[in-house]
Chains A and B, each alone.
Chain A
Amino acid sequence: MTDTAAGPVRAHEGGPVRAHEQHPAPRRQEMVQLLDEHGVRHRHPEHDLDLTPAELLGLYRDMVLMRRFDSEAEALQRKGQLGLWAGSRGQEASQIGAGRAARRQDQLFPSYRDHGALLSRGVDPLHILSIFRGIDHGGWDPVEMGVHPYTLVIAAQMLPAVGYGMGVQRDGAVGTGDPDRDTAVIAFFGDGATSQGEAAEALNWAAVFNAPVVFFCQNNQWAISEPVSRQSPVPLHRRAEGAGMPGVLVDGNDVLAVLAVVRSALDRARAGGGPTFVESYTFRMGAHTTSDDPTRYRLAAEVDAWREKDPIDRLRTHLTAEGVLDEEFASQLAADSETLAERLRAGVSAMVDPDPVSMFEHAYAEPHPQVLAERDEFLAAWEQQDADSHAAAHGGTR
């Protein structure tokens, strides 16, 4: 390891066998960074932005609420209220930055961990939790919210994202100069997804057709237990060069940098400039999901090093130093966080299981005789079961 200053501490003697396989961390000057881990603001010649204090506080608030959402969801899973939880701690800057960069008309195609991007769009967090509760596959309206359903098959959302962008092109909603009309698409995916053939097809396709798509890759270093070095021998953003589009490496724990980079990539796409690949260099602080045990495959030291780069801490340090974040805002935010957590607890425990027969409702738009017949078969068996259990209960009291 040559660059311990900018990167995580790795290569421990006697550590897990894979720790040494990781890519060298990028140097600070190799990636876009506007706010370093000490909360110090830097200027960038290409990617910069000036935000009002209110906008800065808005980003901070989003990230704090997202983290509270995540910790509450994890707690709900531990209490048996959710079947599974895919945590997002550590990725707040990536997801809030990218989500906030989008305009209302832009369409997001998320993967299954992009809770922050959804929250930034105004998706009800209970709709996200309903997936992990096992109520449905996502209760939000994809058209109204501009957010595609979560996709669990790795990289499978990327080609539909490109196709959506091609539809945008055919609608003439690119390059008109009208900020309310010009539209772009963000495809969210992780480091593991870049290994899929469909990811390669999506990049190539978007470049060939100059589609208005931003490929937003959150490199959180680990695809369950597989390190990013097992996905690619080269830094991920360099895939862009082969695909024929710009590739940008951004500090994924720096919400200002992510916002600036994704915003300019979206602007470029909306103007007709074509796709961009953004690698957001970040870290999944927790487990892949609540079923995972990351201590089996990664070093505590790696996690500790990333804790020093925490996206929320650095923005808080910066905002406090600038006098933007005061005690009043902080205590109100703390109260709002608890209100959110309470709403999540109450909302999840109030969730009712779907009517079983509803599973037959949406397989087809038009009637399908075999599905209708099976629905009738199911209903008959269900009613019989009901009658039997009533009879049994009645018999018991006799």
Chain B
Amino acid sequence: METMAIGRAINAGLRAAMDRDPRVLLMGEDIGALGGVFRVTDGLQKDFGEDRVIDTPLAEAGIVGTAIGMALRGYRPVCEIQFNGFVYPAFNQITTQLAKLRARSRGRLSVPVVLRIPSGGGIGSVEHHSESPEVLFAHTAGLRVVAPSTPHDAYWMVQQAIASADPVLFLEPERRYWQKGEVDTDLGPGQVTPLHKARVLRPGTDATLVAYGPTTKLALDAAAAAAQDGTELEVVDLRSISPLDVDTVAESVRRTGRLVTVSEAPTFHGPMAELAARIQESCFYSLEAPVKRVGGWHLPYPAARVEEHYLPSVDRVLDAVEQTLAA
């Protein structure tokens, strides 16, 4: 068991994957000598060389498009998109090529590309550095979208994403890169939680809180605060936006009767809207109150000085819990 931060855990996961499989290579802007703007690829170019840790031109469509071609040649490229809002220039390659080549070729072509994207805000940065674009890609069939929230998951999920035969968007919780936790690097096959399985992080009886990526810690903080007032909240970390492990959430909701979702992504047409709809379908008679969603507003991400009013907070989560308990 080792203690490391999420950013460091991803670095260690990448290193393990590259050690294991010479076809794994990294591509992105500033990922070589600099080690990436968040230093997630720190030291990897030094150890694996410029042919496996490729500093690319500043062109996101180029990064994703050429990664597709390398995957077609048998490589397993892991692309770093520098900031979440920079993924849009690659949108065409992701949605029309990466997501669809398998279906278009009736399964004859495989494009096992991983896109690592810092996700969400809270770092006080300028525009296009703090967005949560996951729903755009979750809505695109052919892609998998996952979001670790702990160092342990970050270490293992990045390796699972690389091993997947499908293209995977790996959303890194930007403001949690420095959050430390224990990582068990010695697990064998079958001991690691499957990539697309949600996990109950804290058991509770009064209501279920569901979150993923950067808001998972927020949900845990809210549950800890609620416990001081005698309210026991169950916290589920989704870990994957596509596919969604609805069963794990439904099981929890059947026990607690109440659901509050927490995401940084805007609630309007957001990933939690899908979850709420599915829980309504499968748990209608278990629900004691309407599902409440806490998330970003339907706005362009605001300037840093007001982002705390955009992002979900413990208070907003507890308000939603209060409403759902009162219903």
A residues at B contact (CB < 8 Å): 136-139, 141-143, 148-149, 151, 153, 156-168, 170-171, 197-198, 201-202, 204-205, 208, 361-366, 368-371
Contact = CB atoms under 8 A, between A and B. Distances in A.
Contacts of B122: none
A288 to B, nearest CB: 20
Q: Which 7 A-B pairs have the closest CB atoms?
A: A163-B69, A159-B65, A167-B73, A163-B66, A365-B165, A164-B69, A160-B69
A364 B244 contact: no
Interface in B76-128: 77, 89, 92-93, 96-97, 101-110
Nearest to A144: B108
Contacts of B106: 136-137, 139, 361-362
B57 A205 contact: yes
B107 A361 contact: yes
A158 B59 CA distance: 14
Given A136-B106, A163-B67, A168 B61 contact: no
A364 B102 CA distance: 7
A204 B107 CA distance: 31
Q: Which of B66, B70, B103, B107 has the most CB of A within 10 A?
A: B66
B278 to A, nearest CB: 9
Given A160-B72, A361-B107, A369-B244, 15 more contacts: A136-B106, A137-B103, A149-B109, A156-B92, A160-B68, A163-B71, A170-B70, A201-B65, A205-B66, A362-B106, A363-B103, A365-B107, A365-B110, A366-B164, A371-B141
A362 B102 contact: yes
B51 interface: yes
A168 B66 CA distance: 12
Contacts of B75: 167, 170
B45 interface: no
A371 to B, nearest CB: 7
A370 B277 CA distance: 13
Contact of A166 (B69, B103, B165): B69
Contacts of A165: 69
Interface residues of B, number: 47
Nearest to A155: B92
Contacts of A366: 164-166
B104 A204 contact: no
B95 to A, nearest CB: 10
B142 A363 contact: yes
Given A160-B72, A370-B244, A365 B59 contact: no
B91 to A, nearest CB: 11
Nearest to B143: A364
A370 to B, nearest CB: 5
B242 A370 contact: yes
Contacts of A136: 106
B245 interface: yes
Interface of B: 25, 51, 56-57, 59, 61-62, 64-75, 77, 89, 92-93, 96-97, 101-110, 141-142, 144, 164-166, 196, 242-246
Given A164-B72, A364-B142, A205 B104 contact: no
Contacts of B69: 159-167
A282 B68 CA distance: 31
A369 B70 contact: no
Contact of B105 (A138, A158, A201): A138
A157 B109 CA distance: 14
Contacts of B105: 137-138, 142, 149, 362
A142 B71 CA distance: 14
B66 A162 contact: yes
B65 A198 contact: yes
Nearest to A365: B165
Contact of A163 (B59, B70, B104, B142): B70
A149 B109 CA distance: 10
Q: Which of A148, A153, A165, A362 has the most CB of B within 10 A?
A: A362
A369 B59 contact: no
Contacts of A370: 242-244
29 contacts: A136-B106, A137-B106, A142-B72, A149-B105, A156-B65, A158-B65, A159-B62, A159-B69, A159-B93, A160-B66, A162-B62, A163-B67, A163-B70, A163-B71, A164-B69, A164-B70, A165-B69, A166-B73, A167-B75, A168-B73, A170-B25, A170-B51, A170-B70, A198-B62, A201-B65, A205-B56, A362-B103, A365-B164, A365-B165
Contacts of A143: 108-109
Contact of B59 (A157, A204, A361, A371): A204
B107 A205 contact: no
A122 to B, nearest CB: 16
Contacts of A159: 61-62, 64-66, 68-69, 93
Contacts of A202: 62, 65
A157 B108 CA distance: 17
Given A143-B108, A366-B165, A370-B243, A153 B72 contact: no
Contacts of B62: 159, 162, 198, 201-202, 204-205
Contacts of A365: 102, 107, 110, 164-166
B66 A204 contact: no
B104 A138 contact: yes
B244 to A, nearest CB: 7
Q: Which of B51, B96, B108 has the most CB of A within 10 A?
A: B108
B72 A167 contact: yes
A160 B144 CA distance: 20
A201 B144 CA distance: 26
Nearest to B67: A163
A164 B73 contact: yes
A158 B96 CA distance: 13
Contacts of A204: 57, 59, 62
A140 B231 CA distance: 61
A149 B65 contact: no
Nearest to A371: B141
Nearest to A158: B65
A156 B96 contact: yes
B93 A163 contact: no
Contact of A167 (B74, B102, B110, B142): B74
Contacts of B108: 141-143
